[in-house]
Amino acid sequence: MDNLNKISVVNINKKYNGQIILEDISFDIKSGEFISILGSSGCGKTTLLKILIGIEKSDTGSILKDGEEITNKKPSERGMGLVFQNYALFPNMNVWNNVAYALKAQRLPKEEIKQRVDDVLAIVGLSEFALKKPGKMSGGQQQRVAIARTLALNPDIILFDEPMAALDADIRMSLRKEIKELQKKLNKTMIYVTHDQEEAFSMSDRIIVMNDNHIVQYDTPNNIYKHPQNDFVKKFVVNHLDEKAKAILDSTK
């Protein structure tokens, strides 16, 4: 069972108004992997995530999860969660209700809702903020609420769309660590979209490097660093890494 791919993306193509946004995108992800999709802004990362979770439809291609075709399933039936860049929390609800809302919509029993919400709030370390409204919290805290909201539905794959972009550099560092620890603790498959090389290289098991609507390299950080596939990867990904990251990569075999 373990060799089965958690996700297989086969030959995705997408155009908006005749303009190519994604071209022949195919890749596999194994269960429990942390994958980054790295690419500059506008190269189609968000569109790819939307297609994965089902809020957009691709023109061609298919998506398989655990070997089963999910291309035509509704977003909420795919067992995936998406964390947005701008949090998109509901300002009129306190933290607890923000997390509980989707569970209530599924008409789960009260006790189960309470159990699950309390659990995920504890996981992201926001138990004592349960009754606060999001408008009064810092960006980092709001993003953790958004993560908790996604976790509450217990998806086995979590997608992140540049979750740190709106955050302070300091908070970015700590949240990066938290997400990584979360992944290890919960053993979820995570797909993490970013345009930040350091983020991708420090967090990922493998990185999908995108440029101009297609995948240019898909490999471990170490391999990408040591054997960049082409000039683009070399120039714009590897050379831009900071010294610390390079030092770490140099020291691994």
Ligand X SMILES: Nc1ncnc2c1ncn2[C@@H]1O[C@H](COP(=O)(O)OP(=O)(O)O)[C@@H](O)[C@H]1O
User: Which residues in this chain contact other proteins in the complex, by CB under 8 A?
Assistant: 50, 53-57, 59, 74-77, 80-82, 84, 86, 88, 90-94, 101-102, 105-106, 132-133, 135-136, 149-150, 153, 168-170, 198, 242-244
Q: Does 83 bind ligand X (CB under 6 A)?
A: no
Helix (H, G, I), strand (E, B) or coil at 11: strand
- Binding map of ligand X across residues 2-41, x = CB under 6 A, - = no contact: --------------xx---x-----------------x-x
Q: Does 200 bind ligand X (CB under 6 A)?
A: no
| Residue from 46, 183, 194, 204 binding ligand X (CB under 6 A) | 46
| Residue from 46, 58, 202, 204 binding Mg ion (CB under 5 A) | 46
Tokens representing 242 are: 């900071």
* b/e map 105-141, b = 16+ CB within 10 Å: eeeeeeeebeebbeebbebbebeebbeebbeebebbb
Beta strands across the sheet bearing 60-65: 19-30, 5-16, 60-65, 68-69
Cβ proximity to ligand X, 108 vs 165, nearer residue: 165
Cβ proximity to Mg ion, 46 vs 211, nearer residue: 46
Cβ proximity to other proteins, 52 vs 215, nearer residue: 52
CB neighbourhood size of 177 (10 A): 12
Mind spelling out the 3-state secondary structure of 137-192?
CCHHHHHHHHHHHHHHCCCCEEEEECCCCCCCHHHHHHHHHHHHHHHHHHCCEEEE
- Binding map of Mg ion across residues 218-247, x = CB under 5 A, - = no contact: ------------------------------
Site for ligand X, rule CB under 6 A: 16-17, 21, 39, 41-47
Site for Mg ion, rule CB under 5 A: 46
